[in-house]
Amino acid sequence: MRHRTRGRKLNRTSAHRRAMLKNLVSSLFVAKPDEENGTFERIITTREKAKEARRLAEKIISLGKRGTLAARRRAIQLLDNKAAVRKVFEEVAPRYANRPGGYTRIIGFPANRLGDNARRVIFELVGPFTAKEARPARPQVAEDVTPPGPAETTAADDAEHESPPAEIEDGETGEQAQDEQTEEEPEE
């Protein structure tokens, strides 16, 4: 049974796997962003490694968003790279201050790796979170309003099928004259 067994072994010992994931995430953070293309830090790796590294990268960025000394020490403990942690806390985490998660993206790469034909992907940090990307608020629906059925008509439908307004006598408003005209017509 696979109860409470998470993560991939990646055909490595636990120490080798931990070191490899630390190196992948450190490389992701230390990579230079390409401002011309609008891409941020990115690396190319295999799909399985990227899915495992995403867990560690998101955890490190969340620690960076806290910004406390304890969070910084925990990030150094997880990553073992002070330069990468410094960049996360000073540059990367402020970019995602309003983003509730999902700091990384995995994009399929068009060609498999030569030699072992492994599926390659681009593992990158997403752009900064803007207010226009936020989910729009749901419109408030009134509880007592029911949509008109097929037999019911709305005021707009009545206005379309109405005859021209009757002549308005002195002292009457347009609504009063219209009310008198509708009273004279029999209802269906």
Structural domains of the chain, ranges and CATH numbers in brackets = 14-130 (3.90.1030.10), 155-183 (no CATH)
pLDDT in tens, 85-136: 999 999 999 999 999 999 999 999 888 999 999 999 999 998 865 555 555 5
Relative to beta strand 120-125, strand 104-108 is antiparallel
Give the end-to-end CA distance of the chain in Å, rounded to a whole number: 70
How many CB atoms are closer than 10 A to CB 118?
14
At residue 41, the pLDDT reads: 85
Percent of the chain with pLDDT over 90: 48
For all residues of the chain together, what is the average pLDDT? 80
* Beta strand extents in 87-139 (DSSP E only): 104-108, 120-125
pLDDT in tens, 28-56: 998 887 766 667 788 999 999 999 999 99
**Separation of alpha carbons 99 and 64, rounded Å:** 13
At residue 59, the pLDDT reads: 95
Which is more confident, 156 or 121? Answer: 121
At residue 115, the pLDDT reads: 92
Q: Note whether 57 and 45 are within 8 A (CB).
A: no
Look at residue 165 and tell me whether its pLDDT is greater than 70: no
**Helix or strand run (H / E) with residue 30:** helix 14-30
At residue 2, the pLDDT reads: 80
43 φψ region: left (φ > 0), alpha (ψ -120 to 50), beta (else) = beta
Look at residue 140 and tell me whether its pLDDT is greater than 60: yes
Q: Name the burial class of residue 78, with classes exposed (0-12), middle (13-18) and buried (19+) by CB atoms within 10 angstroms of its CB.
A: middle
